[in-house]
Each structure stands twice: as C-alpha cells, then as structure tokens.
Amino acid sequence: MVETLGEITVAAQRNRMLKRVLRAHFGKGKVRVRGHSGTATIKIDATPPSIKNRRELESKVWDLINKNNIEIGSFGINFNA
C-alpha cells in the first residue's frame, strides 16, 4: 500500500523536499532524486577531487537532511552522475 496525501505520495513529497534543499546548496540542474518509501537515490553533478572531499560532501548532504528534518531510511549518493 502506498501512503498518499491527496494525489501526491509521501515519498514524492520527501523527494521534492530533498531536491529543493540539495539544489539550494549544489545548484539548479545539479541534483536528481529518485526513490520510494524508506529509500532514495541522490545523484549530484559534482566531482570530488579526493576521497576526503567525497566524504565531506556526503557529510554535507547528511547535515542538510538533518537540518531540514527530512525523514529517510536509507539512501545512496552518486557524484558526477
């Protein structure tokens, strides 16, 4: 069963919020979000020059998710997608 609020699913609302928040940080056209309840795949058009920078970007994504109280079970991040 799909949770819905009117015609828009809870997952769709969450994905839109994720995209809006991440786009504000990484730039318009640089973020794609897909997923359903409990999961999401986030694709960010950015090329971290090192593993350290990649970890910093992943940490920033988590900070933005937590700061905006976005509930998400698990997600994957792909950079330069």
pTM (whole model) above 0.85: no
Q: Name the more confident of 6 and 24.
A: 24
What is the pLDDT, as a whole number, of residue 37?
75
Q: Which residues of 5-17 are buried (b: 16+ CB within 10 A; e: fewer)?
A: eeeeeebbebbeb
- Ordered by where they begin, the domains of the chain are 4-79 (3.30.300.90)
* Per-residue pLDDT tens over the stretch 35-75: 887 788 889 998 889 999 999 999 999 999 999 998 887 77
Q: Is the pLDDT of residue 21 over 90?
A: yes
Q: Is the pLDDT of residue 31 over 60?
A: yes
